[in-house]
Amino acid sequence: MRHDDPVDFEPYRAELVVFCYRMLGSFDEAEDLVQDTLLRAWKARGRYDPARASVRTWLYRIATNVCLTALKGHRRRPLPSGLGVPSDDPGAPLVPALDVPWLEPFPDARFDVEARADLRLAWVAAVQVLPARQRAVLVLREVLAFTAAEVAEQLGTTVAAVNSALQRARAALTDVGDAGAVTEPDDPEVQAVIQRYMRAFEAADVPALVRLLADDAVLEMPPVPLWYRGSRDYGRFMERVFGMRGTGWSMRALTANGQPALAAYTPVPARGHRLHTLQVFTVTDGRIAHNVVFADPRVFDAFELPHEIPADELRRER
């Protein structure tokens, strides 16, 4: 490819962002790394040899090296449930751990995501535990379906080393569970469950919320390291939330990580509603099994959510 040949890398931007997100667990970092990847590709376009690899494969080689460099000395991005035991105290202090680089959700609406099962929060959180090169091999081979030879070329290693790393990565993820058991967010049963949860939340109806939960449902709230397991403790904590914030909430449905999600707006007297949290759900067997609640303003910005809903706008919607 000559330096003056026209080349358009933009068609690959979305899938590269998804790849970098799987590697880093951060949407903000993923966007930055993809920008770096495309800049490097543009500068190196004169050295690209189409006889050796497609443009896509070549871009993934650059992106993989960018991610591996970024991960050197990088702390993994966990969820609270990956750091300690659940709490049984619904009144425990809600102190954020701002020194922890928490896992961030992925805003589906901004990208066309195909392999959504491997974008789910539980899967991405589990992948963060893997060493960086194992992580890269797993995503490139299992999710993106590159051949072992292509991955070996991308990583500058051998096919045998790639196959060995993939085997170790698979073994480390045996406890993640079957992605096929998690129903898609557009499934009618899932939509019905989420709609009922939304109505119960807006009404601050804790018994109605609890009826929608699996017995061992998990509630966690990064950046607060506190988390709860079981419908009883989940309900007790929600009683605390509604006791502090009152009733009259407003909810907006969306998706994140290929999962159903809700943006929760708390009422503000004489002003309307203010964005409180983004909640990402796992629904299995017609019950909510997991709710990860995000309160970081950077997450809100990534999802391009309005931070306030004026009272007159809410009245028009109703």
Check whether residue 68 and residue 151 sit in a common domain.
yes
Q: How far is CA 318 from CA 16, 197, 250, 315, in A?
A: 39, 18, 11, 5
Check whether residue 276 and residue 235 sit in a common domain.
yes
Check whether residue 193 and residue 256 sit in a common domain.
yes
Domain boundary among 180, 214, 242: 180
Q: Is residue 295 part of a domain?
A: yes
pLDDT tens-digit map of 201-213: 999 999 999 999 9
Domain enclosing residue 191, as ranges: 182-317
Q: Is residue 300 part of a domain?
A: yes
Cα separation, 169 vs 159, whole angstroms: 15
- Report the number of distinct structural domains present in the chain: 2
Q: Is residue 104 part of a domain?
A: no
pLDDT tens-digit map of 189-198: 999 999 999 9
pLDDT tens-digit map of 58-103: 999 999 999 999 999 888 899 999 999 999 999 999 999 999 999 9
Q: Is residue 263 part of a domain?
A: yes
Check whether residue 176 and residue 208 sit in a common domain.
no
Domain harbouring 145, CATH code: 1.20.140.160
Where are the alpha helices (H) located in the chain, listed in sequence order? Answer: 13-24, 27-43, 55-71, 121-127, 132-138, 148-155, 159-172, 188-202, 206-211, 231-245, 297-302, 311-317
Domain harbouring 207, CATH code: 3.10.450.50
- The whole-chain average pLDDT of the chain stands at 90
Report yes or no: 149 and 163 within 8 Å, Cβ to Cβ.
no
Residue 166, SS3 per DSSP:
helix
Q: Is residue 81 part of a domain?
A: no
The residue among 122, 119, 101, 108 whose CA lies nearest residue 298 is 101
pLDDT tens-digit map of 107-152: 998 887 665 557 899 999 999 999 999 999 999 999 899 999 999 9
